[in-house]
Structure 1
Amino acid sequence: MYLNVHSHYSLRYGTMSVKTLVEEAKARGITQMVITDINNSTGVMEFMRECRKENIKPIGGMEFRRDKKLLYIGIARNREGMKELNDFLSYHNLEQKELPDKPWAFENAYVIYPFDQKTDMTSFVANEYMGVRFDELHQFYNRESKHPNKLVVLQPVFMSSKVGYRLHEYLRGIDLNTLITMVEAEDKCRETDLFLKPGELETKFVKYAFILDNTRRLMDSCVMDYPEGKMKLNRKTFTGNTKDDKALLEKLAMEGMLYRYGPKNREAIKRLKKELKVIVDLNFCAYFLITNDIIQYSMRRGYYHVGRGSGANSIVAYCLRITDVDPIELDLYFERFLNAERTSPPDFDIDYSWDEREDVQDYIFKRYGREHTALLGTMSTFKDRSVIREIGKVMGLPKSEIDGFTDLSKATENRANDTFKKIMTIFELMGKMPNQRSIHAGGVLISEEPITYYTALDLPPKGMPTVQWDMYEAEDIGYDKYDILSQRGIGHIKEAVKLVEQNQGKTIDIHQVKDFMRDPNLNERLKTGNTIGCFYIESPAMRQLLTKLVCDNYLTLVAASSIIRPGVAQSGMMKTYIQNFHAPDQVTYLHPVMEQQLKETFGVMVYQEDVIKVCIHYGGMDGTDADILRRGMSGKYRSRVEFDRLVEKFHEGSKVLGRPEQVTNEVWRQVSSFAGYSFSKAHSASFAVESYQSLYLKTYYPIEFMVGVLNNYGGFYTRWLYVHELRRAGATVHLPCVNHSSSVVSIKGTDAYLGFVGIQGLEGKFMELIPEERRLNGDYLDLEDFLRRTEIGLEQVVILIRCGALRFTGKSKKTLLWDVHAMLGQKAKPNNHAELFHIKAKHYEMPDLVNTRLEDSYHELELLGFPLTLSMFDLLKTAYRGDIRTKELGRYVGQMVRMVGLYVCEKTVHTKNNKKMWFGTFLDADGNFFDTTHFPNSTPVYPFRGTGCYLILGKVVEDFGFPSIEVVKFAKLEIQGNPVMDS
């Protein structure tokens, strides 16, 4: 009798997970029910799976609301009906139209309207009914219904208990951003909106048995005729039939093999044929061909892509140019990507520049049809501690008290606070509940059937249809996603290549990566950590690691890209790797097979592929079982029983091969402890390829490369550091200028002009309008000409004057400010029509108003975030620059030194005793980097105080050739006062 059941996917309204909902229903002997979440079908497929486990008949539906008002409930008779409901909501979401008072005419879905005595049921068609709540039955007292066959039981379900109702009230308060006491009755459900005790609902309707009969007949007629078990829902073919798909994939792969390896590489041919057989057997031809189609489109458009992820383990992917990683060269195992026993779908991660990805996505939608294509959604939850603040606001607590509850340093005293206990109880109940739907970073679904058989569609800000569930639900239903991602590093490379052609007239083939890897100049830069701006290898930790490993080749860089990851570093594997790297002769291997398989990584299982190799070559397992075991050790096993069977298989295989039992036990201990931390070698190899491309550009075209970095919103560091690197690259960096600058940084020869983007307070329209007007009608002649042609307001032009953008006039800033106030200070109506005669403004002789370099630097600090006229060192009150500089550190190991450093960044970490310590990065007065370590016993006394220059006292230490300073004391140095403020 439950036609109107809600899960927690009725966001900030429902309180029960789908699993809990089904368990509650089973406990009450309910044999069928309808899930009707508010304006979404997120939980329908999950609901069917859970109900079938408990032998409850699932029925799909949806509750439609407009401005919090219940309009009607849709109930699907079958999968076609579910599609009709999804199509109806999707249309209104995608067209951004309000839901109507009455829905479309559904052929396979029922419509239930809330009870209203004024409603004329004579107009109801066959599939329309009116729902009656038990507390509305009194309106039938001593009256006969004119249309008894059109009435059904309406018992909404939102929670399971009084506790659930209280949680519901908090959710409504958060949603409405109001106090819990201010939530109106119409904004929340009723306390009776829950599952009633067995037989209780029937008892309440005992005098109106015909309503019960109508309800039962309606539910009995519904059959959710979706296949049971996991389905394969992706587009099944690329060409139209599987035979042609197979032939096409084989043809393209063989052509690609010739491009990659030439005609006589027997190993490549053998592996290619082996992979193709697995791909065909597992029906993944269409998946590869569609991915190839996407790649070919983007290459025709001149877009640069990076294919990474476990797909880089595939030689077919390499031959199709989906990836640029050679799996033979790196000894990568295809089973890591795809094998006969793998239950989770494989996927390619395809990265594009941030400003090209949407065009690629648009192509996919147009190529494969909007009915069959959608972006993947995500579901954010209430797990973030910021929810504590929201709960406090709903309770009406003052800000100061809420701040105290969110302060981790007060955790001990808060535990005894009753209000805090109450907040935490609610927080724990909300913990894993969905909060809002959003959009996945790059997942795209391409479906064989129209996608609305399985979900309604949202229209998030990206403007592309998006499913209402996340990647985990997509996988459970049977979708394999295509990941079309973006990253800044590709934007750096793409723009740098374009700038080299524009500025130097040279065309670069950035895909000649194997040549880059053999270039001694690139490898010299790599091993010294001179990598600012280069994707994935520019952070302080990575530059340190490159130096410690004397990294001068691709394979070492691939390893470095893996061991830098937090889990590996914290496990001690990174330190072991570095030690073994410098003393390879002292590495003790447990067995000759271990030496054979792990010599490349000096006995450390750096990669997930290493775990697979050991299982195959030491334990005698096949690649499929080895990968399943590897996934199991990472916590991804399908069942504990199967995992234990494979562990036993490893030991049995080792025994058959004559491995000593004691050695086998130790090998297994190492394998199982490393597996959880190891990283995909294919991922690292993809990162390393892109790093070499960045290195090439930074080495041979440093000015264009740094401009590319700046114009693609930088990387690990703040903007000023990349401007500093641009100068070091040999560029003369100029402040923004209305007669030279564009919206972004521009270059001509070695002259680089900062763009209007980045000027604090300047409106976006003027960032585009100023250079566009100059392009159309020539340079600006003077201040008056600039004002007339741009119609810029006083506040905006003052910003430009203060940051030096009108210096072309030859007048000082103070003179320009005087002039512009004289011209624009008296507000007049804007003249929007063309001038018949242009009358020049009168000019008056003014005393010479001069700006100092110190004043200019303060303007730049305020408006750009960094000074360009003077350096931060020039702004210091003191002329002292430290006793030594970075290049001398190696001579002072073990000694106390004093240095002056410009703050670049800091990283906070927690020690084993849960105390804080910091790592700092600074520039010396020569512009060279040095690093600091701040231990808990000194840093709280001498804390970081943001950007600026610091006097640092500490001991020079060296770790594998990398010097740094263990700080004893440090303090921020004062800068000269702002002359404008001081005067």
Structure 2
Amino acid sequence: MYINCHTYYSLRYGTISPKDLLALANANNLQTIALTDINTTSACLSFVRLSSEYNIKPVLGVDFRNGAQQEFIMLAKNNKGYQQINTYLSTFLHDKALKIPKYAKFIKDSFVIYPFEKAKNYKLKKNEYLGVKPKDLNSLKFLERTHKREKLVILHTVSFQNKKAFNTHRLLRAIDNNTLLSKLPLSEQGCETDQILSADTLKTIYADYPELIENTQKLLGNCTIDFDFSHKVPNNQRTYTNNENLDYRLLEKLTYQGLEYRYKNPNKAVYKRIEKELNIIKQKGFVSYFLINWKILKYARSKGYFYVGRGSGANSIVAYLLRITDVDPVELDLYFERFINLYRKNPPDFDIDFSWTDRDDITEFIFKRFKNTALIAVYNTFKFKASVRELGKVFGLPKSEIDVLTIGEFNFNRLDRLSQLVITYSKYIQGFPNYLGIHAGGILISEKPIHYYGATFFPPKGFATTQFDMVVAEDIGLYKFDILSQRGLGKIKDAVEIVKHNHPEKEAIDIHDIKRFKEDQRIKYLLKNAKAIGCFYVESPAMRMLLKKLQVDNYLGLVAASSVIRPGVAKSGMMREYILRYRNPERRKDAHPVLLDIMPETYGVMVYQEDVIKVAHYFGKLSLGESDMLRRGMSGKFRSRDEFLKVKQQFFNNCKASGKPATLVAEIWRQIESFAGYAFAKGHSASYAVESYQSLFLKAYYPIEYMVATLNNGGGFYSVELYIHEARMHGAIVEAPCINTSKNKTIVIGKTIYLGFGFLRDLESNTIKKILVEREKNGIFKSLDNFIDRVFISIDQISILIKINAFRFTKINKRELLWQAHLKIKKESLQEKIITLFKTEYISYKTPELKSTELENAFDQLELLGFPLCNPFKLLIKPQYNNSRAKHLPFYKNKIVAIEGYLITVKKTRTSNGKAMYFGTFLDRDGDFIDTVHFPPIAAKYPFRGKGIYAITGKVLEEFDCINIEVISMHRLAIIEDPRYSDKPKLIKM
């Protein structure tokens, strides 16, 4: 009876979730409804999957609209029609210049329904109908004779559940139109009556026109849609060679060929593992999946791209032999069943990381090499704070009031009516889809055309993208290829190139010689002493402290630490327990015997995702399939699903039946629930550890070159300033950009680092390009006049270069250079310089004798780089000199100290009762780290006040050889007045 139903995937229009729409239909005794969201098929697959639970026959289609203006509705007769509708819709979604036409293209396996007002002067085709809304019934008798009654159907739109939902719809429309609610045109709104009615009520409304009821039922009866959600057969590209047997023989051949590269003398365990994995891969239908990944990475290697295969895929020896991953699963005893097992219903996936500079080329290769390819969407939902801002504007609240509501520091009962409405409706729309984005790296390669499953849109990324997310893709049996990017690989790749250029006399680095790195004493020292700034995954303050506490100096220890640091393990309290058991063998006896037997390597503590499967299987007596469902459910994506809740109950039932104490079972479940969604698969941690070792090797032997690569790849956990400081700590001389030496990126010559032009704020990329092209073509610049003569540049742009002292080779004070530049360059030039036969002679003006100090340079650097290149302690207004240093703190355990520190980073967290507390990281005068803890009362009384040097007083605490200061008081020290605007410039020795 309903041929035009919307969910909240009709973005900023509908208000009903697919599940709620089905529940409403069931509650109103409906047997069939059509889902026709506006210009999207995002909800279609979920709608079909859920429909059987509500005894509803699903029909799929699309409501084609220009804005809020309905042009026509298309319903799919069958799967073929659905695919054709998706292709048709995608033509408009791929080209925003195209408008939805007034009349639909003929699609054989579809029905078209036009709104009643289109009846005039249009002859309906065989598959086309007119939709009659209740308000149109009085006009039926005036209908032209050309439109026969069998062409009329009921058109009662469903967009909302009730009056509140209609009000929400109006707010969403106002947000979409970026207008005040009071100014929202009626043409941009639905009708308040667009709510679901019972079948009997609908029949009563159309009682005088029984043929409309009959026509509508017949129309819906002629529509059938069917998708298989059983996961029996993957729906990815079925074969790599177009022949399944040939695929398997190729996979087998490539696997055994890989033995020579990976193992010098493979033992029986290796061959047994290969045989087992190949058998399971074949049974589960994942042969082509491995081969496609192999092909992608073969291309990557041919282009010299660095990559890391991680995730649970690292648990596979076949993946290791195909060079998809670099982790030896036999050495680490990785659990293949975490990746694929005969009972696992959901598809596996490899996470392949590339350098951020290479990822787009890999994506383009995939789209060219494989057909039926698309990126995966993500649903960006309304977040509470963002909703408050949007709705605040819709209601016309001033910014100051909106800010108060956003912060959340208010008493709801004391708010005015409009502010209360903002809060109420912000909570209501929280979680609604807002707009479609692109998954971080998910790509689908399907056997069937992508449009068989849904329409695609064309975001700025330049590749067709589905309108459904990865969860829906998995539901339908499409498993994604994760092509991700990270800057850590860019750092490694660039560092190797810089070393090769800076040290041509040295042997080329084999960055993949991980076995050698594992035994390297310098790397062991860096790890054990947490001197890993700039190194992938091991540089953050939390990781730095964990490494100190564990005294990690080996690969397996780092693998464990990479997962222990994850928030869930800490939340469960098991991070501390792991540290205690790691350091104290006696403490390991406290572990439950069953858990210690399951996880001897981690002393009975759950550290990896596999541990969830093992504990659920061996402790909770769940099957492997149930255990994997439990592990997946903990990720949050499936937590509310009935199948997960059943498995959770089964865990408790099995434990009770086997006589395990209820308190123990509850504690084990608490640990599982608190960290399983955050912990890494062991293979994932091992992959991260491999990359950490590669960066640690470069840091250990080529620290300056590695820091330059870090700077050129967007840094890491910390700001650019800290990586410059770290380079200095290793003997580098850091220079501001130089007009004759610097490039867009930072370079190093010997031990001298020249910062790149790209670090200068407001220096335009076009200016940088002109400088570099001219210098490359005609050599270095000989003077300011020579530069002005050769490079067309505005006074604003050259001022930036002069202020940063890029013309210091002239030996002329930069204040004088600024005068000269202003006299010789017009404020606004209308055209590029014209090359003439004779050189232009500039008039030499007599400029005042001006001086600039090192302090002025520091403030210019602060303005243009964001930080000074001098020691920041030199900028204090009072040259107070506190003798306390970070290296002295171990001698003052449990004592009160005063120390000065330059703020590097702050981490905010909350206590169990929701109060804010902080962890601070500072540098002392020697450049060593000071770590601080700020508990709620102190954090409130002595807040951080931005960048600068702080005088800190606090108690020195030591835990597991890790030193912290529990802050008692803290205030930021004043720096000197900007000498550029002071009458009393100061001189200083830097």
Say yes or no: TM over 0.5.
yes
Q: Hey, what's the Cα distance between the residues in 1 that align with 2:368 and 2:136?
A: 51
Cα contact 2:228–2:476 (8 A) shared by 1: no
Output aligned runs, 1:180-219, within 5 Å.
180-219=181-220
Q: Which letter maps to 1:489?
A: G
Cα distance in structure 2, aligned partners of 1:477 and 1:361: 23
Q: Structure 1 counterpart of 2:971, which letter?
A: A
Hey, what's the Cα distance between the residues in 1 that align with 2:327 and 2:781?
Answer: 51
Please give the residue correspondences for 1:132-151 in structure 2 after superposition, counting only pairs within 5 Å.
132-142=132-142, 144-148=144-148, 149-151=150-152
Cα shift readout 1:515-541 (whole Å, capped 9, x = no counterpart): 101101110111111010001110111
Judging changes above 3 Å, is the alpha-carbon distance between structure 1 residues 291 and 667 closer, same or farther for their aligned structure 2 residues?
A: farther
Q: Which amino acid aligns with 1:77?
A: K
Residue 763, structure 1, aligned to residue 764, structure 2: yes
Say whether residues 1:534 and 2:544 are aligned partners.
no
The match for 1:275 is 277
* Residue 614 of structure 1, CA deviation: 5.3
Partner of 2:304: 302
CA 1:838–1:41: 2 relative to 1, 3 Å: same
Q: CA deviation at 1:599?
A: 3.9
Percent identity, please: 44
Within 2, Cα distance between the matches of 1:118 and 1:838? 77
Conserved 8 A contact 1:379-1:434 = yes
Equivalent of residue 674 in structure 1, options 671, 675, 681: 671
Structure 1 residue 512: Cα displacement:
0.7
Q: Which amino acid aligns with 1:162?
A: K
Contact 1:919 1:932 in 2 (8 A): yes
SS in 1 for 2:326: coil
For 2:288 and 2:118, how far apart are their aligned partners in 1? 56
**Cα–Cα, structure 1 residues 204 and 641, in superposed 2: closer, same or farther, change >3 Å?**
closer
Structure 2's unaligned 5+ residue stretches are 984-990
**Residue-by-residue CA offset, 1:824-844 (whole Å, 9 max, x unaligned):** 245453246443443212112
Larger displacement relative to structure 2 (789-798 or 223-232): 223-232
Alignment of 1:414-563 (within 5 A): 418-505=417-504, 506=506, 507-563=508-564
Partner of 2:987: none
- Whether contact under 8 Å (1:933, 1:966) holds in the other structure is yes
TM-score normalised according to structure 2 size:
0.93
Task: Give the CA deviation at 1:423.
Answer: 2.8
Q: Contact 2:626–2:647 (CA<8 Å) still a contact in 1?
A: no
Deviates more, 1:816-825 or 1:461-470: 816-825
Matched, 1:41 2:38: no
Structure 1 residue aligned with 2:289: 287
CA distance in structure 1 between the partners assigned to 2:110 and 2:653 by the alignment: 53
Q: CA deviation at 1:811?
A: 2.2
Aligned residue runs from structure 1 range 717-756, under 5 A: 717-756=718-757
Q: CA deviation at 1:368?
A: 0.6
Given the superposition, is the C-alpha separation of residues 68 and 790 from structure 1 closer, same or farther in structure 2, using an over 3 Å criterion? farther
Distance 2:635 2:222 in 1: 46
Mapped partners of 1:68, 1:413: distance in 2: 34
Instruction: Give, in angstroms, the shift of residue 594 of structure 1.
Output: 4.9
Aligned to 1:238, what secondary structure does the other structure show? coil
SS state of the match for residue 874, structure 1?
Answer: helix
Structure 1 contact 238–286 (Cα < 8 Å) conserved: yes
Deviation readout 1:180-222 (Å, 9 max, x if unpaired): 1111010111122222343444444445455444444433322
TM-score of the aligned structures, taking structure 1 as reference length: 0.94
Deviation at 1:385, TM superposition (A): 2.2
Contact 1:335 1:624 in 2 (8 A): no
Stretch deviating more after TM superposition (596-605 or 924-933): 596-605
Which amino acid counterpart does residue 691 of structure 2 have in structure 1? E
**SS of residue paired to 2:58:** strand
Q: How does 1:588-667 map to 2 (within 5 A)?
A: 588-589=589-590, 594-613=595-614, 627=628, 638-645=643-650
Q: Which moved more, 1:626-635 or 1:177-186?
A: 626-635
Distance 1:321 1:402, change over 3 A: same
Structure 2 counterpart of 1:78:
78
Equivalenced residue count is 970
Find the residue that maps to 1:752 and give its secondary structure: strand
Report if the CA contact (8 A) 1:883-1:898 is conserved. no
Per-residue deviation, residues 242-301 of structure 1 (Å, max 9, x unmatched): 211221111211222342223441111111111111111111111111111112111111
- Distance between the aligned counterparts of 1:838 and 1:531, measured in 2? 54
Which amino acid counterpart does residue 527 of structure 2 have in structure 1? L
Deviates more, 1:618-627 or 1:256-265: 618-627
Match in the other structure for 2:692: 691
Post-superposition Cα deviations, 1:163-192, rounded to whole Å, max 9, x if no partner, equal 221111111111112121111010111122
Change (3 A) 1:745 1:176: same
Relative to structure 1, the CA distance from residue 668 to residue 196 in structure 2 (aligned partners, 3 Å threshold; closer, same or farther) is: closer
Contact 2:236-2:446 at 8 Å conserved across structures: yes
For residues 651 and 140 of structure 1, the distance between their equivalents in structure 2, rounded to whole angstroms, comes to 68
Contact 1:598–1:605 (Cα < 8 Å) also in 2: yes
TM-fit CA distance, 1:647: 5.7
Instruction: Identify the range of structure 1 (595-604 vs 353-362) with the bigger mean alpha-carbon deviation.
Output: 595-604
The aligned residue for residue 795 of structure 1 is: 796
Specify the SS of the correspondent of 2:582. Answer: helix
State the distance in 2 between where 1:363 and 1:719 align. 33
What per-residue deviation string (whole Å, max 9, x for no partner) do you get for residues 366-407 of structure 1?
A: 1112xx100110001123322122222212222222222222
The unaligned stretches of length 5 or more in structure 1 are 656-660
TM-superposed CA distance for 1:642, in Å, is 4.6
Partner of 1:236: 238
Q: Per-residue deviation at 1:595?
A: 4.5
Who is 1:57 aligned against? 57
Q: Would the aligned equivalents of 1:376 and 1:470 in 2 still touch at CA under 8 Å?
A: yes
Partner of 1:375: 375
The structure-2 alpha-carbon separation of the partners of 1:67 and 1:521, relative to structure 1 and needing over 3 Å to count, comes to same
Aligned to 1:336: 338
- Relative to structure 1, the CA distance from residue 198 to residue 674 in structure 2 (aligned partners, 3 Å threshold; closer, same or farther) is closer
- Letter of the 2:296 counterpart: I
Show the 5 A alignment for 1:794-873.
794-825=795-826, 827-831=828-832, 833-868=834-869, 870-873=870-873
Distance of 2:838 and 2:132 partners within structure 1: 77
Higher mean C-alpha displacement, 220-229 vs 691-700: 220-229
Alignment check: 8 A CA contact 2:901 2:924 kept: yes
| CA deviation map 1:106-155 (0-9, x unaligned) | 22222333333674223x43223333333234334455432225443332
**Counterpart AA for 2:932:** T
- Which residue in the other structure is 2:98 paired with? 98
Q: Secondary structure at the match of 1:30?
A: coil
C-alpha distance 862-141 of structure 1, shift in aligned 2 (>3 A): same
Aligned residue number for residue 883 of structure 1: 883
Aligned partners of 2:79 and 2:225 also within 8 Å: yes
Residues 344 and 624 of structure 2 are in contact (CA less than 8 Å); yes or no, is this contact kept in structure 1? Answer: no
Q: State the match for 1:388 in structure 2.
A: 388
Q: 1:335-379 CA deviation, whole Å, 9 max, x = no partner? A: 11111111222111111111111111111111112xx10011000
**How many Å separate the matches in 2 of 1:415 and 1:512?**
66
Once the 2 structures are TM-superposed, how far is the Cα of residue 673 of structure 1 from its aligned partner?
A: 3.5
8 Å CA contact 1:205–1:211 kept in 2: the answer is yes
Q: 1:913 to 1:45 in 2, by over 3 A?
A: closer
User: 1:658 is matched with which residue?
Assistant: none
Distance 1:751 1:74, change over 3 A: same
The 1:218/1:288 distance shift into structure 2, 3 A limit, reads same
CA contact (8 A) 2:395 2:418 kept: no
Inter-CA distance 618–909: structure 2 relative to 1 (3 Å threshold)? closer
Cα distance in 1 for residues equivalent to 2:623 and 2:829 = 83
How far, CA to CA, are the matches of 1:254 and 1:847 in structure 2? 79
The verdict on how the C-alpha distance between 1:54 and 1:795 changes in structure 2, with shifts beyond 3 A counting, is same
Q: Structure 1's 384 and 350: CA in aligned 2 closer, same or farther, altered over 3 A? A: farther
1:246 paired residue number:
248
Does the 8 A contact of 1:629 with 1:647 survive in 2? no
The residue type equivalent to 1:470 in the other structure is D
